[in-house]
Amino acid sequence: MTERRPTQLELLHELEPVVEENLERHLKVAKEWMPHQYIPWSEGRDFDGPLGGEAWDPEQSRITEVGRTALVVNLLTEDNLPSYHHEIAKVFGRDGAWGTWVHRWTAEEGRHGIAIRDYLLTTRAVDPDALERARMVHMGQGFETKQDEDMLRSVAYVSFQELATRISHRNTGRFTDDPMCEALLARISTDENLHMVFYRNLLAASFQLSPNETMRAVTEVVKTFEMPGSTIDDFGRKSLQIALAGIYDLRIHHDDVISPVLRAWGVWDMEGLDADGEAAREELAEFMAKTDATATRFEEKRDKLRARMAATGQQPDSRAAQ
């Protein structure tokens, strides 16, 4: 007789105590911080327009070109917070510990977009008109998750996505050549890491409750993973520039995002899976091997590109070669 598997709703209820426990842990370790304290307000001045200030000029920015690209991508990704809130509220609900977490997460994430935008505009790091137009286009599209309101897949996705965002912010800060910007993004990265730990712990509990369904969810998410900013206009070119610099590329995604989270869940050593669970794990292993190979090919091509640039006197960012 086939063992009955819990429904998504049943799992949601069974995980409620785990959510409550991790919410309490999060509130104890999350330190209050003030976004306005990271902004050099004394550098601010009026822009052109109704106030008759000074128009923006690229020479006013002290941020590197690739730093500007990455900062804009990171900020536009954060801007779609209303859609993200809507998506997770649909899946997790607005009641009990789940609902408390949804609102707390949203409030913490809200600081990130506020702080980054205030910093960029105050320091004149990017073209403010282009930034606003890009925001309108990106938010006008909204965001719709590919997880089809599946609770397990949703938790699996954000476990990886929060860590990816943390690494992207942290590496972007280092590539800006601006210590104050780096300090701000490092602080934001701390939030993202705590969010990752919260979701990672929930999925670890899901593996205990429903290992086969959770393994399938993880496999499907890894195989179809896209960052929420992938709908940004001209994202392909921007993400390539970011990857070529070494801020976030497939090697980082494989080695520093997907692999450590999978190890934390113990997916490779897990016992007692049924045929479906084992099949999902085999698919996952095959996909990870292909991703590793693809990442290696990209690194080889990037090394050749950097060599050609150096030979022709075009010096790439020194950190990109690290």
Query: What ranges do the domains of the chain cover?
Result: 9-312
Contact between 177 and 63 (Cβ < 8 Å): yes
The amino acid that residue 25 corresponds to is R
Contact (CB, 8 A) for 124 and 56: yes
Q: Determine the pLDDT at residue 320.
A: 39
Q: 9-312 adopts what CATH topology? A: Ribonucleotide Reductase, subunit A (1.10.620)
The tens-digit pLDDT sequence of the chain (322 residues) is: 456 667 777 888 899 999 999 999 999 999 999 999 999 999 999 999 999 999 999 999 999 999 999 999 999 999 999 999 999 999 999 999 999 999 999 999 999 999 999 999 999 999 999 999 999 999 998 888 777 778 999 999 999 999 999 999 999 999 999 999 999 999 999 999 999 999 999 999 999 999 999 999 999 999 999 998 888 989 999 999 999 999 999 999 999 999 999 999 999 999 999 999 999 999 999 999 999 999 999 999 999 988 887 787 665 543 433 3
Give the list of residues 6+ apart from residue 122 with CB closer than 8 angstroms, or none. Answer: 39, 40, 41, 43, 44
Query: What residues are paired with 54 via a beta bridge?
Result: 47
Q: From CA 229, how far away is CA 88, in angstroms rounded? A: 16
54, 58, 61, 65: CA torsion to nearest 10: 160
CB 210 within 8 A of CB 6: yes
What pLDDT is recorded for position 263? 98
Binding residues: 78, 109, 112, 162, 192, 195
Binding residues for Fe cation: 78, 109, 112, 162, 192, 195
* CA-based nearest residue to 168, from 116, 132, 118: 116
- Per-residue pLDDT at 309: 77
Residue 272: Cβ within 10 Å count: 7
Q: What are phi and psi of 15, to 5 degrees?
A: -85, -10
